[in-house]
Amino acid sequence: MKGQRIGYIRVSSAEQNTARQLDGLELDKVFTDKISGKDINRPELQAMIQFVREGDHIIVHSLDRLARNLDDLRRIVKDLTGKGIVIEFKKENLIFSGDDSPMANLLLSVMGAFAEFERSLIRERQFQGILIAKQAGKYKGRKRTVTPEQVEVIRRRVESGEKKAQIARDMGISRETLYQYL
């Protein structure tokens, strides 16, 4: 059974360029996420998983584009190949079809572990950079989502007895954020 050729592209932020990942490949459909690969809660990844059918061939630039967590990577590959879907990783030159050799499974685990390790190194460097910036007085943290005027409106509404959950919804913030401002 000949299925569709499906591409999956992921970059970590909206500013990053997706063009190089599957450039020059003839694909029937492409799903693109511009979000971190830290977990599988990505809209286009979930849409692709729902879209693909037996006989389809998914092409991904590299393992770390599909998942940065070894458990997630193995689960996605196992679930999809179990449905008769082939997954190909261009950079690593690996193809998984469900009847993979022990060597292919070992390579998936080893390469996936490197992707997870790389992500943990990135987070560690980011944390260290924030600490250094804080010590130098250059890091002020995340920008406030509520202006001082809005805080006053929130306080008045709370004092008048309105439900905090409703106030938070009206202001477009979480209840936790509302409590922080109070």
CA separation for the pair 166, 168 (Å, rounded) = 5
Asked whether the beta carbons of 22 and 88 are under 8 A apart, the reply is no
Phi, psi of 176 (to 5 degrees): -60, -45
Q: Both tokens of residue 139?
A: 């890091």
13 among known catalytic residues? no
Residue type, 40: I
CA separation for the pair 78, 81 (Å, rounded) = 5
Task: Point out the catalytic residue in the list 12, 36, 62, 97.
Answer: 12
CA separation for the pair 54, 38 (Å, rounded) = 27
Complete DSSP assignment for 91-137: TTTEEE-SS--HHHHHHHHHHHHHHHHHHHHHHHHHHHHHHHHHHTT
| Active site (catalytic) residues | 12
